[in-house]
Amino acid sequence: MAATLDLAGDPVDLTTALVNVPSVSGTEAELAEAVESALREQAGHLEIIRSGNAVLARTRLGRPSRVVLAGHLDTVPINGNLPAKRTGEGDDEILHGCGSVDMKGGDAVLLHLAATVTAPTHDLTFVFYDCEELDAVRNGLGRIERELPEWLAGDLAVVCEPSNGVIEAGCQGTMRVELRTTGKRAHTARAWMGINAIHALGGALLRLQEYQARTVEIDGCLYREGLQAVGVSGGVQGNVVPDEAVLAVNYRFAPDRSAEQAEEHLRQVFAGYALTVVDLAVGAMPGLSAPAAQQLVAAAGGPPMAKLGWTDVARFAAAGLPAVNFGPGDPTLAHTREEHVPVAQIRRCADVLSRFLSGGSP
């Protein structure tokens, strides 16, 4: 029997209940079942459908704009950190457990809104999806995009991934390239007959050391780029001048650069080297000039921040929606055994989004 979830009650208790239903990627059925049942029983004003281990719910109030709110139900593997545990008291209370940060706190906020915001100023679509922690190809949001694209349409997307309760907008692109040097093999006892491919990487490494990464401001968000070697390999054996070496470099680039511009930039930085792009995900512009986004920023209070990592925000942005991250928890704790979230952030996120969706003033 699926767990019973109280959607209208305290979102912290709801987070605790969600954390206590294990949902490692690929095994989200029990949690999806509990979410679907609870929505059907406690949010009768919503149209609800199921797609595999994803649950979709929406209003059809004919509002002039629609906000899509999304959270994934799955977690990374459990690491001795279940069931949930609560420590501290009052404003200092902390909820510990697998998924508490990434991202059942956000899911609880969304479920609470689904049940309690019955007269929103925007139409609402809630998307609880599966397999976000796996390869992009298995991502449940990608499946919904292909099979049920109308369920992702709207004027603003809010992805409740952990952001310390701050609006994080857009995200940087990421590109991995390989620089491959070639030489000529020879016995090291006759090194002058060879050409050392590893030595030839020296120049590229110096360029990386000297590289000055850009900082770009877009819609009030600061994006800080980065260019880092992430792998190097070369060598045949201890007495051979190596004829091949490979340096892998990861470029994180602000969303004002397209994939083509990012690649062109790297080709300039590494002029003279053979360069191959081996991995690429474009960034997402913050899109905070959209009216609904401005309302959300106002409701949240503080200044928006640039999202640094790549999240499904970029998927919405690629589909043309302004999209932000806004959720409880410190993203640097995600995927750690010590994953934990201050309960005050869960309640604050629920309050901010509730005000925003109800049209209330900050």
Cβ nearer to its own copies, comparing 199 with 348: 199
Pairing of strands 305-306, 168-169: parallel
Strand partners, 297: none
Smallest gap from Cβ 327 to its own copies, in A, equals 17
Dmax (CA) for the chain in angstroms is: 81
Residues recorded for the chain: 362
Cβ nearer to its own copies, comparing 222 with 298: 222
Q: Residue 264 corresponds to which amino acid?
A: E
Smallest gap from Cβ 334 to its own copies, in A, equals 10
* Interface residue list for its own copies (CB under 8 A): 172, 174, 176, 187-192, 194, 196, 198-206, 208-209, 213, 224, 226-242, 245, 247-248, 250, 252, 279, 308-310, 332
**Cα end-to-end span (Å), the chain:** 41
Cβ nearer to its own copies, comparing 231 with 291: 231
Q: Where are the beta strands (DSSP E) in 88-219?
A: 94-96, 123-129, 156-159, 168-169, 173-182, 186-187, 215-218
Gyration radius of the chain over CA positions: 24
Cβ nearer to its own copies, comparing 70 with 241: 241
Q: What is the rounded distance in angstroms from the CA atom of residue 327 to the CA atom of residue 254?
A: 22
Q: Where are the beta strands (DSSP E) in the chain?
A: 47-51, 54-58, 66-72, 85-87, 94-96, 123-129, 156-159, 168-169, 173-182, 186-187, 215-218, 221-224, 226-234, 240-241, 244-253, 274-281, 305-306, 323-325, 340-342
Q: What is the rounded distance in angstroms from the CA atom of residue 31 to the CA atom of residue 255?
A: 35
Smallest gap from Cβ 113 to its own copies, in A, equals 28
Cβ nearer to its own copies, comparing 107 with 330: 330
Say whether 102 is catalytic: no
Smallest gap from Cβ 283 to its own copies, in A, equals 11
Which residue out of 132, 155, 225, 312 is catalytically annotated? 132
Within the chain, how many helices (H) and strands (E) appear?
9, 19
Which residue out of 28, 74, 161, 263 is catalytically annotated? 74
- Which residues, 6 or more positions from 286, have their beta carbon under 8 angstroms from its beta carbon? 169, 170, 218, 219, 220, 221, 255, 304, 306, 322, 324
Smallest gap from Cβ 211 to its own copies, in A, equals 9
Say whether 132 is catalytic: yes
Q: Residue 13 corresponds to which amino acid?
A: D
Smallest gap from Cβ 216 to its own copies, in A, equals 14
What are φ and ψ of residue 353, in 5° steps?
-70, -35
Smallest gap from Cβ 222 to its own copies, in A, equals 12
Cβ neighbours around 81 below 10 Å, total:
19
Cβ nearer to its own copies, comparing 46 with 186: 186
Cβ nearer to its own copies, comparing 59 with 164: 164
**Catalytic (active-site) positions:** 74, 132
